[in-house]
Amino acid sequence: MAFITSDPKILGLAFLVGVIPSLLWLWFWLKEEQDPEPKGLLAIVFILGMMSVVAVLPIEKFIQGLVDSHNAQIILWASAEEILKYLAVLIVLYKTNHAHKPVEWPIYMITAALGFAALENALFLIKPLSVSGATVALLTGQLRFMGSTLLHTIASGVLGIAIGVSWRTEGLRKFWHVFLGFIAAIALHSAFNFFIIRNDGNDFLKVFAFLWVVTIIVMLLFEKVRRMGQES
């Protein structure tokens, strides 16, 4: 995923540039929240999302050595990332009263996803910064930042919305909501990676436009889940 360097300036710049877009996106999703979540709790989820990148690297390497099919690798990598982002939220919210409204699940899922994207983007930037300098690195990573950050946001957002919709359900019905949310998140994630890798990024603008369409749909669903909590 990244070229490792010991230069603290490069590491610091990569981390800073990787984190800033995710923080801006997080501000965007939270700015209209009437009953904001505790900032400390959001910070913990964001950091756990970042730590999920470190946890997923050996898992993805293991999958690569175990599975020969490249398409299967893409799907399994996406599955591992979506599961770890979910676990980052579950670790914080399990058996607590912090997720007492449907909208809180997509909020926390998106927060974990933005933490994941922040560190992933930072790691991606290390090599271009080391080889080409800051200007070239930022130009190289600009579209990828937007695409990667959007991808993780909508994939985890879809899962969070599915969990939020299942808030009033029980048993098997709740399970199917969450299961289908996982399937949708993994399908979006896998499709993005498949088209980017298959065409060496040549179709990025088309895929990016598709991500924006899905983002708008997720925003509309997010508002619907928010209203569910207000009506309860």
Tell me, yes or no, whether 204 lies in a domain. yes
| Residue closest to 49 by CA, chosen among 164, 188, 149, 180 | 149
DSSP letter string, 26-73: HHHHHTT-SSPPPHHHHHHHHHHHHHHHHHHHHHHHHHHHH---HHHH
Q: Among 36-45, 68-77, 151-160, which is the least confidently predicted range?
A: 36-45
pLDDT in tens, 132-155: 544 444 444 445 556 788 889 999
Tell me, yes or no, whether 146 lies in a domain. yes
Using CB atoms within 10 Å of the CB of residue 195, give its burial: 0 to 12 exposed, 13 to 18 middle, 19+ buried. middle
Tell me, yes or no, whether 111 lies in a domain. yes
- What distances in angstroms separate CA 53 from CA 83, 107, 169, one per listed residue? 12, 19, 32
Tell me, yes or no, whether 3 lies in a domain. no
Tell me, yes or no, whether 2 lies in a domain. no
Q: And the tokens for 36?
A: 């904001």
Tell me, yes or no, whether 23 lies in a domain. yes
pLDDT in tens, 195-227: 776 655 556 677 778 888 888 999 899 888 888
Q: Which domain holds residue 152?
A: 8-231
- CA–CA gap between residue 128 and residue 161 (Å, rounded): 36
pLDDT in tens, 60-85: 999 999 999 988 999 999 999 999 99
Q: How many domains does the chain have?
A: 1
Query: What predicted TM-score, i.e. pTM, was given to this entire model?
Result: 0.85
The b-or-e profile of 26-35 (16+ CB within 10 A means b, else e) is beebeeeeee
Q: Among 91-95, 145-149, 173-177, which is the least confidently predicted range?
A: 145-149
The amino acid present at 14, given as its one-letter code, is: A
Q: Output the pLDDT for position 137.
A: 44
